[in-house]
Copies of this chain bind each other. A is one copy, B any other.
């Protein structure tokens, strides 16, 4: 059995058996978000690292939802959100890492990518936008790129928001009925659903080939939004706490100047 086949991405894996109920999870998540607010302040002051969360997932898997619900806890000044749609004409004339490299968060900042360079081994592969000889090389290129970022202070975490086929169906249908959401749909979004199994295979390769100690992938069961938000928030709290962010000391010259302060 190849490594990639062992990654469980069936419909069952989109739920957590025996999870606490929604209300309890939401209360736990609120506590985590308060911790995130405090941790971010120290992380920004500390300035040794940046944090980059990469969100991938099928349509309606909750990428926007995570950014709104979890990243909403952060002070907007310290946050950089980048969303990657189909590449522009200019972006296509560059290597596939060019556009993401430009928006990697600088030290002190907390970034999130809504889709990312992983689309170049997902959509590009499944929709046959580049030959296999091209995209097959990219797993290693991505690992080298992320490893370089890690060595330069970027803490990388990657979440695949995993939903079941039934849940996606429900969400897409309800979005199509919602005038605040249905304007966003392109016909291609619906096409992707027909390619479900091809995407599963592509995701399995991503998860098995590009999960490294310095930039691990997390498969987040995402059929229940409360579970999803709780798990992402908990992972971010753990990640930030492990860095032990500390406030720098006041410059001695400031203390002197403050003595004469009127």
Chain A interfacial positions (CB closer than 8 Å to B): 41-42, 45, 64, 67-68, 71-72, 74-77, 79, 81, 83, 112, 114, 169, 172-173, 176, 179-180, 182-187, 190, 193, 247-251, 253-255, 257-258, 261-262
Contact = CB atoms under 8 A, between A and B. Distances in A.
23 contacts: A41-B180, A45-B180, A45-B183, A45-B184, A64-B75, A67-B75, A68-B75, A71-B76, A72-B75, A72-B76, A74-B76, A76-B76, A77-B83, A169-B261, A172-B261, A173-B261, A176-B254, A176-B258, A176-B261, A179-B250, A190-B254, A193-B261, A193-B262
Copy number in the complex reads 2
Nearest to A41: B180
A68 B76 contact: yes
Given A67-B75, A182-B254, A190-B258, 7 more contacts: A42-B180, A64-B75, A64-B77, A67-B76, A77-B114, A185-B250, A186-B254
